[in-house]
Amino acid sequence: MNAEQVKTSSATTLKRRWGPQMWPYLFSLPFVLAYGAFQLYPVLYSFVLSLYEWNGISAKTFIGIQNYVHLWTEDPLFIKSIMNTLIMMAMFIPITLILGLLLAYWTFNLTRGKNMIQTINVLPYITTPVAIGFIFSYMFDWQTGLVNLLMMKFGWLQEGFYWLQDEWSSRAIIALMVIWRNLGYFMIIYMAGMTVIPQDIYEAARVDGSTGFHTFRRITMPLLRNISVFLVVTSVIGGLQLFDEPKLLYGGWSGSSQVGGPDNAALTIIWKFVDESFISNTRFGYASAIAYSLFILIVIFSMLSYRLTTSREDRR
């Protein structure tokens, strides 16, 4: 190898280094930078913050894991907020799954008006949460609400029931709001899953004498398992972050603001977080500790729900 050859080969390596290989990096750079600045940095910074006591204005005081200790051992509202969130999730996840699947199955086999049914069911999903909050708080108002008026008209109630100030009915209404909003989305996802199932399986089943519910139970449902796993895991993650519905149900009126609903029965983890950082308090460090605790809860619950919903073979 003579000198000239070395020169050209190093030139080509240089050229190659700045050649086509760099394009992927260059093209992903905007995202990576934006991600670093607006996602990664805040995520890491809020962890650091969770080890401090800080109100945003005065000096930060390092207090180690004290925020976490206090949160998990001495804050009854935090524990209550976790319980509330889990209770409401237990109310809306199974119902949305089952109803979504049935609705999808029914709609899928419709010959007429399929598009219309689809559109109607997806409408709540694209309605703004603020409007949903208003609709439900008007509907369940105990003095002027439609639900009470109807029930009194039919003679089922003597006096209006105080829906929004009862522990269990308030949770049920929030669950209802979530179900109402997400049903269309679940339906669409299930219908997408149904489209993928090959028709010859159904034909084979028909030849073997399977009909109606049996086919649905033995063919459709097992083949939609992956879809269900996806929906369960995403709704567990979304459910743990429940905030819009309860907050809007109790903050819809201009002036009234009952943080946490009746006796904190509707206080969710995120609401507690918002309350600690911006509403009742300004404890940014403590609120960050809530956020990180929620993160850990979400990891645990998504793993659990994944393990529970997937079949044993898939897991291996």
Partner 1 sequence: MNIGKRLLQQFWGDSYKVNNTKHLSKWASGAISVSLLASLLGACGNGNNNNESQASQASSPASSASASTATATDPTQLSATIKVWDWDEAFTKGMIPEFNKKYPNIKVEVTVVNPNDYLQKLQSGIASGSDVADVILGEEAYRGKLFDLDVLDNLEAAPYNFDRSSVLDYTVPYISNSKGQIVAVDQAITPAGFAYRRDLAKEYWGTDDPAELEKLIPTWDDFITKGTELKDKSGGKVLMFPGLGDAFLVLKGQNTTPYVNGTEVDVTTKLSKSIEMLFKMRDAGILGKNELWTPAWSSSMAKGEFMFYPMAPWGPKWHISANDPEGSGRWGLVKAPEVGFTRGGTAVGIYKDSKVKEAAWAFVNFAYQSEEGSLFNFKNFGNMTSNKAFYEKQKALFEAPGPFDEFFGGQNLSMYYLENVIPEMKGQAQSKYDSVVDAVSNSLYPLWTKDQSITVEAALEKFKSEMKNKASEATIK
Residues that bind partner 1 in the complex, under the rule CB under 8 A: 20, 23, 26-27, 29-30, 33-34, 37-38, 55-58, 70, 74-77, 138, 141-144, 162, 164-166, 253-260, 262-264, 278-282, 284
Minimum CB distance to partner 1, residue 165 (Å): 5
For residue 129, the minimal CB distance to partner 1 (Å) is 16
Q: How far is the CB of 255 from partner 1 (least distance, A)?
A: 4
- Pick between residue 124 and residue 262 the one whose CB is nearest to partner 1: 262
The CA distance from 138 to 148, in Å, is 11
Least distance between partner 1 and beta carbon 144 (Å) = 5
Nearer to partner 1, 234 or 264 (CB): 264
The contacts of residue 64 (CB under 8 Å, 6+ apart) are 51
Rounded to the nearest whole angstrom, what is the least distance from the CB of residue 47 to partner 1 in the complex? 17
Query: Which lies closer to partner 1 via its Cβ, residue 279 or residue 308?
Result: 279
Q: What is the DSSP string of 127-139?
A: S-HHHHHHHHHHH
* Closer Cβ to partner 1, 198 or 255, answer by number: 255
156/253 with CB nearer partner 1: 253
